Amino acid sequence: MAAMISPSPAKPAGTPAAPPCTFVIFGASGDLTGRLLTPALYHLQREGLLDAGFEILGVDRVENNDEGFRKTLGEALHTLGADAERGIDEAAWGQLAANIHYLTGDFADPSTYQGLAAHLDQRQRATGASNAVFYLAVAPRFFAPIAAALSTAGLLDESDTAFRRLIVEKPFGTDLASAQDLNAKLLAVATEKQIYRIDHYLGKETVQNIMAFRFGNGMFEPIWNRDHIECVQITAAETVGVERRGRFYDGTGALRDMVPNHLFQLLSMVAMEAPNSFDADAVRTEKAKVVEAVRDLTPEDAAKVVVRGQYDAGTVLGKPRAAYRQEPDVAPDSRTETFVAMKLAIDNWRWSGVPFYLRTGKSLAVRRTEIAIQFKKAPAVLFRDAVNAPMPNLLVISIQPDEGISLRFAAKVPGREMRLGQVEMDFRYAEHFKAEPQTGYETLIYDCLTGDPTLFQRADNIEAGWFEVQQIQRLWGGLTTPPDLYPAGSDGPACADELLARDGYAWLPLT
């Protein structure tokens, strides 16, 4: 018997349920649906945030039916992730499962969209609900064709009483030209307010808390500038290798996979100016300004401030890991980077002269995403005779896996002499708020259902990110030398350490 679970604290009193809607998942048989979307929708159901008129409609070429699709999603929910360990609220799952349906169809076949239109028409006649969200959990090559087919079938047409929205997963393009092309094709069939470009990093509580932390505390925002901050580090480290995605990853690499989206989103949240409100366009405009203010790199600049690495054989979390070039579906002479680190400058008044260091990689020592703010050292005059000189204060915002914030500062070590030691104050979401497991998609799906695009990327923001890395892509495209190797399970290649050492800094260790 499943464990009984108390009501989730994620829904404050008065939070309204999303309006009734048909949530259409293209690519419903894929890993994303079972591993992330189903748990997220289950959490929203359990929190009372889905209307009784909410339904899920899976669409895929894989032969299936309503009963089989419900069974597949139920098995995924009961076997994957933290919920399976804690126990499933069977009543909540039963309510969600009762409204799960399936449509077998090829994405390129017009009859698929005719069947979808018939389903939506029948539902409107039966319940009066005609809202629909189309989630493109498919390979990027299907984004534009599916959107065009939906438009041709009239399924993106809105009315005063019904919305139609499109959620697009990453990668959103592979370079500036492809991102611009995709934006043009989507905007030819839908308005910007209908398009929700999703990045699950922005659904994490700690990422959203950056704005609350900065702009809601009078002690931090006055020192959040070049006068007090020495440098900023943004790290997105993964322990996983390429898993079963060798063919995709070998044509993509760490730069395209992580930098223009995940890392630039974190960069913009940390460096943005205060918006005049929490209106979606006000927030997204300030974020876009940060990316636009990043100093453009020439190929010559990129060669000096951007480094790349590729994992070699090693040990990750106590288990042997083959070299990247020995992974399935990876070319034996591949020059694809699995690690990238860079130094960026933001040319505006607040951040002039402050270096921003970004790094991301696979098969590293730990899984960790964090932002480290290193403040300038206090004058050491008073402590010139002390045993230890003051170290810089350090503020670390942990995004995953342990969401929280820590602050390092100096304190006197007990004893007869003046000796300074470093102490930390830690805040952890799970401990303070008794937070329950979340996938990161709950907030984003709820926001889409309620029409709040604040945490989704706008077309100009996407293109600005690709613009900033295009010179790096051009430089690397002309190189014949392979990336620097680093042992799997390490902190990355030595060239990344040298990048900071030249400026007198060091990365926060991963181990």
Question: Residue 334's pLDDT is what?
Answer: 94
Give alpha helix (H) positions in 80-175: 81-86, 90-97, 110-127, 143-152
- Which residues are CB-contacts of 475 (< 8 A; sequence separation ≥ 6)? 299, 302, 303, 306
Tell me, yes or no, if the pTM score tops 0.85.
yes
**Every domain range in the chain assigned CATH 3.40.50.720:** 21-169
Per-residue pLDDT, 241:
94
| pLDDT for residue 386 | 58
pLDDT of residue 228: 95
pLDDT of residue 6: 37
- Tell me if 228 sits within 8 A of 351, measured CB to CB: no
**What pLDDT does residue 8 have?**
45
User: How far is residue 216's CA from residue 212's CA, in Å, rounded to a whole number?
Assistant: 5
The CATH code belonging to domain 202-437+459-502 is 3.30.360.10
Question: Under DSSP, is residue 452 helix (H, G, I), strand (E, B) or coil?
Answer: coil
Is 327 annotated to bind a ligand? Reply is no
- The verdict on whether residue 170 carries a ligand-binding annotation is yes
Is 61 within any annotated ligand binding site?
A: yes
Whether 257 has a binding-site annotation, put simply, is yes
Does residue 107 have a known ligand-binding role?
yes
Q: Is 262 part of the annotated catalytic residue set? A: yes
Across the chain, which has 511 residues, the per-10-residue mean pLDDT values are: 39 76 95 91 93 94 94 89 71 94 96 96 86 94 96 94 92 91 97 92 74 86 94 96 87 92 92 89 91 91 94 96 95 95 96 97 95 86 61 87 81 69 76 69 93 90 90 87 96 97 94 80
Catalytic residue among 43, 101, 119, 262: 262
Q: How many helices (H) and strands (E) does the chain have?
A: 18, 17
Instruction: Return the pLDDT at 418.
Output: 67
DSSP 3-state percent helix, strand, coil across the chain (nearest 5): 40, 20, 40
Q: Span 21-169: which CATH code?
A: 3.40.50.720
